[in-house]
Structure 1
Amino acid sequence: MSDPHSPLRLPVLEPTTLRAALNAEFHARSPLPLSSPARVSQLVFANASSDTTAERAHLAQLERLVNGELLEGSDSHRLLAAKGIVLRWELHTEFSSYTFYRQSATAESQDPGTSALEALPSEWLAAIPGELLVATHVDLQSSANVSPESMTSGLSPTGPPVVAARVADNAAWVFTNFLFEQGFSRFQILDVKLTQRQAGRTVQRLLDIETYRLLSLLALPIAKEVGNWLTPAENKLAEMVDQIGLANSLADERHVLAQLTSLATEVEHSIARTAFRFGAARAYHDLVMQRVGELRERRVAGCPTFAEIMQRRLAPAVHTCIAMADRQDELSDRLTRTCELLRTRVEVELERQNQEQLLQMNRRARLQLRLQETVEGLSVVAITYYGSQLVHYLAKGGKTLLPVLSPEIAAALSIPLIAAAAMFGIWRMRKRLRQEEEREH
């Protein structure tokens, strides 16, 4: 028997080729542990295409320039350390992010103009592929060096609103105004009793909030564009519905159906063009609110919280995008119902016309039958006449043999027999044709 205390060994199994990659993806992008004071900067660029060769080559160039060391690497994630800087590159569905971490000296941390980007070659930063979407600075300071009171005491009631909250169960203070200063959004974190992993998670959540906040707003200009033509399209549909009620002929209904089909094509084209953007806006907004909830924030007197500012500023814009998407879908559904209604009317009209044509064909068939019966009767008369004449001539020729038989009497006696034979022959022919028709069916 096997030892029950021995470690369990799995049999030799054939794992899927994706097993290791999926597990690595699960553990990737974990927040880096941080301690105050520290500077963090993040740049987010839109992916111009699915080809990331240029980005990888650019990262390799930085590694050579600063003699960096690759700590982690995969197709969608790299972690590079050099010159007191840690760079994390992440590839997402439609953007790439470059996050730079730098531990600061105590004296340097007091200078608000410093950032984690200063230790990097400016030429390399300027040549990062893609269009810049988000640029964020995060300053992590100890509350022993910068007190929360010094931050709140300088707030002006008439100045720009400052968002402030105590986060991570009162382990830190966070301040921001979501305004761009020299092109960057800025967050100030005052560390009260954060552990290194708490500090890393808090920084990552703030970066995610800023990134997904701006990405969710990418759909707002498209929503305004869609709204500009949705109202005329809805009015046009209402006019077409009125035209359906006033249509008096099949040609009118077909004309309205052609207009409906053209409008439906425009609507479906717009839905196909905007569905991803509107869906992404909804998903990014959900991520923002999820990250805000993970902050576990508590109110600072006189300042709105992150949840409040998102509900007041971000939610209406995202709801506008969702409303435009719903209006497009509703218009598409209304067009579908209207087209089905009009097609039903056209089909009913076609059925009525087909029924009229069938009735006319039935009338023609009955008329042809009567004409045929009349022709058959005339044929019997004609056959009887010519047959009796033949008998009359035969009787004249045979008068020398049978002088008693009069040609006129013979012709008269043959008329019923000839008529009966002709009628019987026509009946047999009709019966045979009917049987052949039945066999064909």
Structure 2
Amino acid sequence: MRVTDRNENAGFAPHPLRRALLGELHARPFLPVRTPRVFLHYAFTTDEEAAAADREWFADFCKAYGAAGPNADSRHHVLPFGGGALRWESHAEFTTYTWDGVAQGDEGEGKGKDAPLPFSYEPAGSPFGRDFRAPGPLVVATRLDLVAAEGCPAVTDLFDPTSLVVCEVMSGGLVAATDFRADGHGMTRTLVIDKGATPQSAGAACQRLLEIETYRMLALLGLPEAQRQAPLIRRIETGLTEIASEIRQSSGLAANEALLQRLTQLAADLEANAAASAYRFGASRAYDEIVSQRLVALGEQAVPGYSTWASFLARRLRPAMRTCETTEERQHHLSRKLARAATLLRTRVDVELESQNRNLLETMNKRARQQLRLQQTVEGLSVAAISYYVVGLLGHVIEGAHEAGLEFHAGLVTAATVPFVVAMIWYLVRRIRARHSADD
């Protein structure tokens, strides 16, 4: 903090996100915990509006207990509550509440033979009662009990043996066990047996185990979407197969245009479905990677006779993730196939249009030639007609001159003017047509 202030005092303008970026690496530290300890962890799906409303509610909740609440831009906050700590975290599409407290009495008590059996009681300090306000639909509800090895019952007495996973973590200092099944309260249960781990190691392991439960559930949200998309993709694939078969037999512009319209509708349906599922599949892929990273960080060591967390999730979670990946791949491959088929049909339609245009141009050329011939015929007739009228006018003039006393033969003179009149009219018509051609 002092470094930031010193830079600001030195005249350096800090980036508006610098403080948030500096704090991101320390946003969710591993808090040391001592045995025995109980963790109650809930995750709720929330959109932007629900997350903002939940932040306001939690701020009021903190004030009611005399503590400061989260800021308007805070993504996490810790409230001392009920002999433990209540952690609130706001993520991109979900919000988590985690309460942890001592299992019995004050911290440090309850070890040994007097320690309570795991999952045998309800923590008195838990805030998750009737007054708790859920910010959205519940997606994760889990309980983790950290107990001492002395006096702990056998894990086979606490979990379903058919899905029980047990392994040593944090260099063998802890043993983690679960069956991933919901109990009578609808919560999955995890038992962590302390064999001498440090509080720091125990806190890191408990937080990672809770994150594995959270992110594996969120990763599985993509499976229902993949199952919903499967029949839609199958319908589009069947439609593409039918259109591809008809393309080989179809001919004519009308038929190809009808096929192209059907193909375009299939492509539009596919793109709409792919856009609707893109975020869900991408989020599931990211959550699955986080689960894998947390498993690696735990440093699992197999316990003879039991499956490890990694092997169990690989056998159960991995097929679900592969289904999501396969569905997304099918969408991408089908989109490319539709694009190729559409390109083929557009090419055929373009060829048909060009053929029609060529035939139309040929027809227009024929009509133009016919018009030219008709124009030439009319032109010849118009020269004869105009010449006839001009010669007739000249004949009246010549007859008038003859009657006025001029000595010449009127008929011969009129006949003599005919060739000159025809030549002059023909020349004028040619000049007019040539001028019009030049203007065009």
The answer to whether TM tops 0.5 is yes
Question: Which residue does 2:195 correspond to in 1?
Answer: 192
Distance in 2 (CA, whole Å) between partners of 1:319 and 1:211 is 19
Q: Tell me if structure 2 keeps the 8 A contact 1:70–1:78.
A: no
Mapping 1:142-291, distance limit 5 Å: 142-143=148-149, 145-146=150-151, 151=154, 159-182=161-184, 183-291=186-294
Deviations 1:356-392 (A, max 9, x none): 1111111111111111111111122222333333333
Kept in 2, the 8 Å contact 1:77–1:89? The answer is yes
Change in Cα spacing, 1:214 to 1:120, as seen in structure 2 (3 Å) is same
Contact 1:62 1:68 in 2 (8 A): no
User: Which runs of no fewer than 5 residues in structure 1 stay unpaired?
Assistant: 1-6
Shift in Å, 1:223: 1.3
Structure 1 residues 385 and 125, CA gap change in structure 2 (3 angstroms): same
Asked whether the 8 Å contact 2:99–2:126 carries over to 1, the reply is no
Letter in 1 for 2:89: E
Deviations along 1:185-222, one digit per CA (max 9) or x if unpaired, are 22222233433222221111111110111111112122
Residue equivalent to 1:86: 85
Distance apart, 1:60 and its partner CA: 4.5
CA deviation after TM superposition for structure 1 residue 83, in Å: 3.0
User: What is the 5 A alignment of 1:13-412?
Assistant: 13-47=12-46, 50-60=49-59, 62-63=61-62, 67=65, 69-70=67-68, 75-104=74-103, 105-107=109-111, 109-114=115-120, 117-121=123-127, 123-124=129-130, 127-143=133-149, 145-146=150-151, 151=154, 159-182=161-184, 183-399=186-402, 401-403=405-407, 405-412=408-415
Q: 1:233 to 1:72 in 2, by over 3 A?
A: closer
Going from structure 1 to structure 2, the CA distance change for 1:390 and 1:121 (only over 3 Å counts) comes to: closer
CA shift in 2, pair 1:277/1:32, >3 Å: same
Name the CA distance, whole Å, in 2 between partners of 1:99 and 1:9: 37
Q: 1:193 to 1:130 in 2, by over 3 A?
A: same
With over 3 angstroms needed to count, the CA separation of the structure-2 counterparts of 1:422 and 1:146, relative to structure 1, is farther
Give unpaired runs (5+ residues) of structure 2.
1-5, 104-108
CA distance in 2, matches of 1:379, 1:178: 104
* 1:141, distance to aligned residue in structure 2 (A): 2.5
CA distance in 2, matches of 1:68, 1:110: 32
Q: 1:109 to 1:64 in 2, by over 3 A?
A: farther
Where 2:167 maps in the other structure, the secondary structure is strand
Q: Would the alpha carbon gap of residues 115 and 39 (structure 1) be closer, same or farther in structure 2, given more than 3 Å must change?
A: farther
Please tell me the residue identity of whatever aligns with 1:130.
G
- Which whole-Å CA distance do the structure 2 matches of 1:269 and 1:8 have between them? 49
1:346-365 superposed Cα distances (whole Å, 9 cap, x missing partner): 22212221221111111111
Please report the RMSD computed on the Cα atoms of aligned residues, expressed in angstroms.
Answer: 2.8
1:216, 1:282 within 8 Å by CA — same for their partners in 2?
yes
1:295 CA displacement: 1.1
- Of 411-420 and 48-57, deviating more is 48-57
Aligned length: 425
1:41/1:115 contact within 8 Å kept: no
For 1:337, give the aligned amino acid.
Answer: R
Q: 1:84 to 1:62 in 2, by over 3 A?
A: same
Would the aligned equivalents of 2:175 and 2:193 in 1 still touch at CA under 8 Å? yes
1:3-22 alignment runs, 5 A limit: 11-22=10-21
Taking a change above 3 Å as real, the CA distance of residues 31 and 356 of structure 1, as seen in their structure-2 partners, is same
On the 8 A contact 2:55/2:70 being kept in 1, the answer is no
Partner of 2:106 in structure 1? none
Counterpart in 2 of 1:3? none
Task: Please tell me whether the aligned partners of residues 59 and 68 of structure 2 are also in contact (alpha carbons under 8 angstroms).
Answer: no
Deviation at residue 305 of structure 1 after TM alignment: 1.4
Cα drift, residue 118 of structure 1: 3.0
SS in 1 for 2:163: coil
The answer to whether the 8 A contact 1:76-1:92 is kept is yes
Distance 1:168 1:264 in 2: 51
Tell me, in whole angstroms, the C-alpha distance in 1 between the residues paired with 2:252 and 2:396: 68
Cα–Cα, structure 1 residues 116 and 207, in superposed 2: closer, same or farther, change >3 Å? farther
Partner secondary structure for residue 270 of structure 1: helix
Q: Give the TM-score of the pair, scaled to structure 1.
A: 0.87
TM-score, normalising length from structure 2?
0.87
**Which amino acid is the alignment partner of residue 198 of structure 2?**
T
User: What is the rounded CA distance, in whole Å, between the counterparts of 2:251 and 2:51 in structure 1?
Assistant: 61
- Runs in 1 of length 4+ with deviation above 6 angstroms? 7-10, 152-156
> Which AA in structure 2 matches 1:86?
A
Tell me the CA shift for residue 155 of structure 1: 9.8
Which sits farther off after the overlay, 203-212 or 11-20?
Answer: 11-20
Determine the structure 2 residue equivalent to 1:4: none
